[in-house]
């Protein structure tokens, strides 16, 4: 379960880096920042896939179902079931968590950091 949660968190990191790249595209002088953010988005996505795969394999090795089958078909059946359940669990955590955590003000409005325009390079708060 922790690896599925880690998969959801790292996927949100990938999404956050993608948002940062989108905000910095077209801003003069930030081409290197865009390249770095794209690289970090790739790292977050690979980490998410690794956590999801490790969650599936760990659960497949721990489950007691199909105990009467031979070793390989038993592992493959368990792996298919745990891959589906790990993906569903990561999706549930990914949809549930952003509503519970974030930059919320006292009225419950969410704010994000955005670059105001190409002329102004200082970040400002923008209401979603």
Q: Is residue 125 part of a domain?
A: no
Helix residue ranges per DSSP H, 25-70: 31-62
Within a domain: 35 = yes
Q: Is 111 helix (H, G, I), strand (E, B) or coil?
A: strand
Of all residues in the chain, the percent with pLDDT exceeding 90 is 28
Residue numbers of the domain that contains 94: 2-103
Assess if residue 38 is contained within a domain. Answer: yes
pLDDT digits (tens, 9 = 90+) for 15-48: 889 888 888 888 888 889 999 999 999 999 999 9
Number of domains present in the structure of the chain = 1
Q: Does residue 51 lie within any of the structural domains?
A: yes
- Higher pLDDT pick, 26 / 102: 26
User: So what's the pLDDT on residue 120?
Assistant: 45
Number of C-beta neighbours around residue 94 at 10 A:
18
Would you say residue 7 has pLDDT above 80? yes
pLDDT digits (tens, 9 = 90+) for 105-114: 555 554 444 4
In a domain, 55, yes or no: yes
Q: According to the model, what pLDDT value does residue 43 have?
A: 94
Q: Residue 58: name the closest of 87, 78, 84 by CA.
A: 78
Under a CB-based contact definition with an 8 Å cutoff, are residues 86 and 1 in contact?
no
- Other Cβ atoms less than 10 A from the Cβ of 32: the count is 9
90: in domain = yes
Please tell me the distance from the alpha carbon of residue 53 to that of residue 7, in angstroms, as a whole number.
9
114 lies in a domain?
A: no
């Amino acid at each position: 379960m922790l690896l599925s949660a880690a998969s959801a968190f790292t996927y949100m990191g990938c999404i956050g880096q993608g948002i940062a790249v989108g905000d910095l595209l077209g801003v003069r002088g930030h081409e290197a920042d865009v390249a770095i953010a794209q690289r970090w988005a790739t790292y977050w996505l690979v980490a998410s896939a690794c956590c999801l795969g490790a969650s599936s394999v760990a659960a497949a090795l721990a489950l007691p179902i199909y105990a009467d089958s031979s070793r390989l078909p038993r592992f493959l059946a368990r792996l298919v079931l745990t891959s589906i359940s790990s993906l569903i669990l990561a999706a549930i955590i990914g949809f549930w968590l952003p509503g519970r955590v974030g930059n919320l003000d006292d009225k419950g409005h969410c704010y994000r950091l955005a670059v105001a325009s190409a002329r102004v390079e200082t970040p400002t708060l923008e209401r979603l």
